[in-house]
């Protein structure tokens, strides 16, 4: 399996521009998670989906952030308009439901820099 795939790996944009981050989960996984990692706040869960439906978006910082999962093999995280404080590494992770713990598999991340 190719693992969780994220694109782009690096994104540099200017303040006010729209940014779209993409994620392809591991085939067959039914949970998808978006995390943000910064030096100041560490690793934060932004939102997660189950069977393409958003379950918990309480970590989404504000209305400028939105996430979609149109099908089981694709998800996007959009920031519009972007601000310098959004600069971070964004990770996507996926897992397969079981009756006990769910190991999360992480993608390589997208490093976003907003100038």
**What separation in angstroms does the CA of 86 have from each of 37, 38, 75, 108, 112?**
10, 9, 19, 18, 8
Q: Looking at 11-19, 21-29, 66-74, 90-98, which segment touches another protein (CB under 8 A)?
A: 90-98
State the Cα–Cα distance between residues 21 and 88, nearest whole angstrom. 12
Residue selected from 29, 34, 48, 112 as contacting another protein according to rule CB under 8 A: 48
Q: Is 91 in the site for another protein (CB under 8 A)?
A: yes
Q: Should residue 101 be labelled a site residue for another protein when binding is judged by CB under 8 A?
A: yes
Interface with another protein, residue 83, by CB under 8 A: no
* Minimum separation from the CB atom of position 8 to another protein (A): 14
What gap in Å lies between CA 54 and CA 77, rounded to an integer?
A: 12
**Euclidean distance between CA atoms 78 and 22, whole angstroms:** 9
Interface ranges with another protein (CB under 8 A): 4, 31, 33, 42-43, 45, 48, 50, 55-56, 91, 93, 95, 97, 100-109
């Amino acid at each position: 399996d190719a693992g969780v795939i994220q694109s782009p790996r690096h994104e540099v944009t200017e303040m006010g521009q729209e940014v779209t981050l993409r994620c392809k989960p591991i085939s067959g996984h039914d949970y998808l998670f978006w995390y943000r990692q910064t030096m100041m706040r560490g690793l934060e869960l932004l939102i997660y989906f189950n069977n393409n439906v958003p379950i918990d978006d309480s970590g989404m910082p504000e209305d400028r952030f939105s996430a979609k999962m149109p099908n089981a093999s694709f998800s996007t995280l959009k920031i519009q308009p972007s601000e310098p404080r959004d600069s971070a590494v964004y990770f996507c992770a996926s897992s397969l439901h079981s009756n006990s713990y769910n190991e999360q598999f992480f993608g390589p991340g997208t490093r976003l820099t907003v100038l």
